[in-house]
Structure formats: C-alpha cells, structure tokens
Amino acid sequence: MEAITHGSYADHPSYQRIEFVGDAVLGLTVSHYLYERYPDIGSDDLTALRRANVTNEKLSRVAIHLGLYRFPRHNSPGLDQAVSDFMDLVTREEEEDNGNSSEPFSQVNDFTDLVTREEEEDDGRISFCDSIVEARTILADMVGSISLAFYWDSDLKLVGKVN
C-alpha cells in the first residue's frame, strides 16, 4: 500500500522514499531494454532514448494507460480533479495526434503547447496548469514506487525479465 500512498495521507508511510529507488530501477530497466533492443546504436543515443522515456511526462502517461490513476491513497483536496484534468488533456492531445501517442513508450510526447493553449484561452487557467503538473508528478511517482515494489517482489530480478 505504501507504493500508492501520497504524502497527504496522514499517519501512513508514503511512496516518496521508495519512489526514489524506483526511479533508479526504472532507469536501469529501460537502459537494459534499450541496450538489448538497439545493439547498433551508441551510448549517446541510448542515453537520449532513456532520458526521453524516463520522465514525469512519460511515466504519468504510463500510469494513465495502465489505469493506476484510480488507486492513489491521499487526503489532498483537488487531487482527483487534477488527475481528471490531466487525463482529459492527454486524451485531447492523443485525439489531435490521431491516436499516434497511445503507446506509452512509443514516442516522445510534449504537451506543453497544449497546456499553454489552455492558459491563453482563459486567464484563470494558471491553477489548471499547476494542477496538471501536480497530477503528472504524482502519477509518475506512483509508477516509480510500484516499479520498486515489483522489483522487490521479483527477488531483484525484474531487469532480466523485460523483453
């Protein structure tokens, strides 16, 4: 339960510490996958691919595609609405891209332009943008912490099982 518990959930351990290690596990797992998948590309390109795929933006999209957005334990006012707003934003972006970004690790997507457009349409959208960033961070943190939980549960052999 710790892997899905936000810091606002009083008197319960949160995912913040395990997310720290989970991010390292994700980085190692993605590095291993890319190393095996692309044997002919150099370390600079492998680093760029890893960096592009282990970001809050990408990991939050993974959380949405896996349905993890339904599970955070929290006592944070507005968090559910922030996650809903983020999901709507991602859905609209994917529709604009004709569904090309539906695979969480298929390509690097940057939705900054869409957030900026929302901000320009309505001066009151600054809080909307802040909530989007909060939701994206929380969802990405959950992916990191859940990754560590899987890693621990697999007797520290998760990296070898990616393919």
- CATH number for the domain harbouring residue 87: 1.10.1520.10
Q: How confident is the model at residue 38 (pLDDT cuts 50, 70, 90)?
A: very high
Instruction: Mean pLDDT check: name the lowest of 28-37, 60-69, 84-93, 95-104.
Output: 95-104
Q: How confident is the model at residue 90 (pLDDT cuts 50, 70, 90)?
A: confident
User: Whole-angstrom Cα distance, residue 162 to residue 70?
Assistant: 25
Q: How confident is the model at residue 135 (pLDDT cuts 50, 70, 90)?
A: confident
Residue 127 is predicted with a pLDDT of: 53
User: Whole-angstrom Cα distance, residue 94 to residue 12?
Assistant: 36
CA 32 to chain centroid: 19
Q: Is this model's pTM higher than 0.75 or not? A: no
The number of distinct structural domains making up the chain is 1
Q: Which residues lie closer than 8 Å to 38 by C-beta, 6 or more apart?
A: 45, 46, 49
**Do residues 26 and 10 lie in contact, with contact meaning Cβ atoms separated by under 8 Å?**
no
Q: How confident is the model at residue 102 (pLDDT cuts 50, 70, 90)?
A: very low
Compute the average pLDDT of residues 156-160: 61
Domain encompassing residue 104: 2-161
Compute the average pLDDT of residues 17-39: 90
**DSSP for 122-150, written as a single string:** -GGGHHHHHHHHHHHHHHHHHHHHHHHHH
**Do residues 107 and 100 lie in contact, with contact meaning Cβ atoms separated by under 8 Å?**
yes
Compute the average pLDDT of residues 33-53: 93
The closest of 143, 19, 134 to 86, measured between CA atoms, is 134
Q: How confident is the model at residue 129 (pLDDT cuts 50, 70, 90)?
A: low
Asked if pLDDT for residue 110 goes beyond 80, the answer is: no
